Structure 1
Amino acid sequence: MTTVAFIGLGNMGLPMAKNLIAAGFTVRGHDVVDACRAVAADAGVELAGSAPEAMEGADAVITMLPKGEHVRAVYFGAAQAADGSQPSNDDGILAHATPEQMLIDSSTVDIATCQAVHDAAAAKGLHFVDAPVSGGISGAEAGSLTFMVGGADADVERARRLIEPMCGNFFATGDPTTGEAAKIVNNMMLFVAVQGLSEAATLAKKLGLDAKTFHQIASVSSGNSWALQTWYPVPGVVETAAVNNEFSASFRADLALKDIGLALAAAADHGLHLPATGLSAQRLAEAVDGGGGELDCTVVIAAVDPDAEGLPEGYVHGGARRDA
């Protein structure tokens, strides 16, 4: 039986781990959050006290972490310098991994962090792929995530068997870091689409269009998109939209801001100016600064229409929450 060490058992990691368990894998996991560990134990994950402990005897290690700084700490050790220049400490994955173990990182992080882990793994003769995902919490629960996997061809194929129970689509993207590149660009497109969707829904309302009728028209016309089909920010139109539940997050605004920031940083590295992406980032930053970081990213509709339906009571885009 294949044993997988799963590091990061939050909203995405736990359902991914559960799908591995359902496929017959043994999952030994670790998370620094007590609540996550408790829920994971109830779901059948064998808990470990640390990442190295989880790795003992495992055939593979999968990490699903929030940010690049967490990836660096977990792979290089807690005392790893921000620029990755310090050697691995004893508490890092790279200090404990063996060439027999397949290392898979499904976090969405900056290209520099991803490259640093690839380089360090290669220097130690370890096998590592970057394999970020698209599909959100619902996709993680359904086992229908899209995986974008970058690395050496043999490593990508070796990782495929481990990834398949968690995914609906598997794309080998090419060289190391190309999985992260694909994810960063894809999410950039999504959040630009969300900004356009917010503006379109507001203008349609102002022009007197029935929301459901307009949605049906756009769904079969040139304005169609995944965001339109899944996240339309008007109550009662699309069942899966966060607006139906006071913008309870399917993709948190603060994480969306992190991801779109990765795209802007990558663009700056290549001398590109992305004005639509910049506006989307500004709107997300306003939501986060106003106390809406834990709300769904579609809450940015409040920047266009402060009177949009479905907003949490007292929410003011760009300003602190206040009691109504």
Structure 2
Amino acid sequence: MASKTPVGFIGLGNMGNPMAKNLIKHGYPVIAYDVFPEACKEFQDLGAQVTESPADVAERADRIITMLPSSPNAKEVYTGANGILKKVKKGSLLIDSSTIDPAVSKELAKAVEKMGAVFMDAPVSGGVGAARAGNLTFMVGGVEQEFNAAKELLTCMGSNVVYCGEVGTGQAAKICNNMLLAISMIGTAEAMNLGIRLGLDPKLLAKILNMSSGRCWSSDTYNPVPGVMEGVPSSNNYQGGFGTTLMAKDLGLAQISATNTKTPVPLGSQAHQIYRMMCAKGYALKDFSAVFQFLREEESL
């Protein structure tokens, strides 16, 4: 570990926790911060340094990864009263793996640049399972000359690290991916629900879909029907995984981008409405694959 310089990690939630652990496994000393102190205790036990604020992380590390829930959280962590930019060192590399508005990523990049540091957006795909296994996909936006420096750290947490272009393009790729994911999950849930009501065994139907043209990630890797697959949220009362409220947030980002670019996304818009309804009806903290359960209960849809 002595041969590797410390890496700051801010945001130790469902995704950030296993990501930071993978950095530790690869020999990087981690300097950690989370707004919830209890999230940091486990990292103290693993030998990480725990700080009192994002500014303290920036004071101790010149490479920092942030994994935060939303655009306001990212703004606060970077530009707030105790934010990273209060004590950031010149030449620091700041990598934001949150999924936020591309415009906010560009705004943060400008603020970071004024401090003589480098900002890259690097949102992820793959979910909690891939985060634990170190198999995430990172979509990276920023100055191309800095990509290799970012990739050195990101490959400790992911199996695919893709350069997308200037700052904000990583976020653009992520929100497009998640819009498609939401649409395909709703479609899978609808197809499975219809088949079950027509008398088909759900495991048999899933098998047929997965050897046919309807196959998709939502059907073959993350099936939303309880009991069809092991090790996924649908078989654990939709606990863990990617929360419905976060999917609704990402779909909202896609809607903003679609409006700004005058791009028609009728299915994306419908998916956004469905996930917002789920949040309003008690599904906010459940995994987004709970749309299957929601549709079974909402026969009027």
Q: TM-score, length-normalised on structure 2?
A: 0.94
What is the Cα deviation at residue 45 of structure 1?
Answer: 2.1
Counting only pairs closer than 5 Å after superposition, residues 111-150 of structure 1 correspond to structure 2 as 111-150=102-141
Identity %: 39
What is the Cα deviation at residue 272 of structure 1?
Answer: 2.0
Q: In structure 2, what is the Cα distance between the partners aligned to 1:283 and 1:307?
A: 11
CA deviation vs aligned residue, 1:129-183 (integer Å, no higher than 9, x gap): 1011111111111111101110011111211111111111110111111011111
Gaps of 5+ in 1: 79-90, 309-316, 319-324
Aligned amino acid, residue 214 of structure 1: L
Structure 1 consecutive aligned stretches of length 4 or more whose deviation exceeds 3 Å: none
Which of these residues, 149, 155, 173, is aligned with residue 164 of structure 2? 173
Counting only pairs closer than 5 Å after superposition, residues 61-210 of structure 1 correspond to structure 2 as 61-78=64-81, 91-210=82-201
Q: In structure 2, what is the Cα distance between the partners aligned to 1:44 and 1:203?
A: 51
Are positions 1:258 and 2:252 aligned together? no
What is the Cα deviation at residue 124 of structure 1?
Answer: 2.9
What is the Cα deviation at residue 240 of structure 1?
Answer: 3.1
CA deviation vs aligned residue, 1:104-138 (integer Å, no higher than 9, x gap): 00000011211101112223331111011111111
What is the Cα deviation at residue 197 of structure 1?
Answer: 0.8
Answer yes or no: is the 8 Å Cα contact 1:9–1:40 preserved in 2: no
Paired residues in the alignment total 298
Q: In structure 2, what is the Cα distance between the partners aligned to 1:266 and 1:307?
A: 29
Structure-2 residue corresponding to 1:291: 282
CA deviation vs aligned residue, 1:54-109 (integer Å, no higher than 9, x gap): 2224130111111100110111114xxxxxxxxxxxx2212322233211000000
What is the Cα deviation at residue 34 of structure 1?
Answer: 2.1
RMSD: 1.8
Aligned amino acid, residue 15 of structure 2: M
Q: In structure 2, what is the Cα distance between the partners aligned to 1:11 and 1:304?
A: 26
Structure-2 residue corresponding to 1:234: 225
Q: In structure 2, what is the Cα distance between the partners aligned to 1:99 and 1:167?
A: 27
Aligned amino acid, residue 84 of structure 2: I
Answer yes or no: is the 8 Å Cα contact 2:62–2:89 preserved in 1: no
Answer yes or no: is the 8 Å Cα contact 1:283–1:303 preserved in 2: no
Gaps of 5+ in 2: none
What is the Cα deviation at residue 220 of structure 1?
Answer: 1.5
Which of these residues, 16, 19, 22, is aligned with residue 22 of structure 2? 19
For residue 231 of structure 1, give the secondary structure of its aligned residue in structure 2: coil
Are positions 1:8 and 2:17 aligned together? no
What is the Cα deviation at residue 307 of structure 1?
Answer: 8.6
For residue 305 of structure 1, give the secondary structure of its aligned residue in structure 2: helix
